[in-house]
């Protein structure tokens, strides 16, 4: 991997990866976190940590995009943008991140 120019597209690609990582963590699917800490699977807190790590990554990259005036909101639904802007990973975020769940409210 050579030196990649740091462009808006680079950040948007990284944000897309972070969003996918967070959504995989919500769905309890395999992520890089599983590979880093394979012994953690045995601990009940594992999925909380996994989601927290993915959420932190998502907020960090979205925050950088915001600071650089990059169009990051286009990757998310309006409710997801609100969750990211509020920055708190609440039960609401965990329960209603995916639009299909919102119909149940």
Does the model's pTM come out above 0.85?
Answer: no
C-alpha separations of 38 from 14, 26, 28, 29, 101 in Å: 24, 18, 14, 14, 30
Mean pLDDT confidence for 11-37: 88
pLDDT, position 104: 47
Q: What is the mean pLDDT of the chain?
A: 87
Is residue 13 predicted with pLDDT exceeding 60?
yes
Q: What's the pLDDT tens digit per position in 29-75?
A: 877 777 777 777 777 787 888 899 999 999 999 999 999 999 999 99
Share of residues in the chain with pLDDT > 90 (%): 60
pLDDT, position 61: 98
């Amino acid at each position: 991997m050579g030196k990649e120019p740091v462009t808006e597209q680079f950040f948007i690609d990284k944000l897309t990866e972070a969003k996918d990582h967070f959504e995989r963590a919500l769905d309890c699917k395999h992520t890089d976190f599983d590979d880093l800490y394979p012994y953690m699977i045995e601990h009940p807190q594992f999925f909380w940590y996994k989601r927290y790590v993915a959420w932190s990554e998502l907020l960090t990259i979205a925050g950088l995009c915001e600071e650089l005036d990059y169009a990051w909101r286009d990757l998310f639904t309006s409710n997801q943008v609100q969750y990211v802007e509020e920055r708190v990973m609440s039960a609401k975020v965990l329960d209603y991140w995916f639009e299909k769940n919102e119909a149940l409210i």
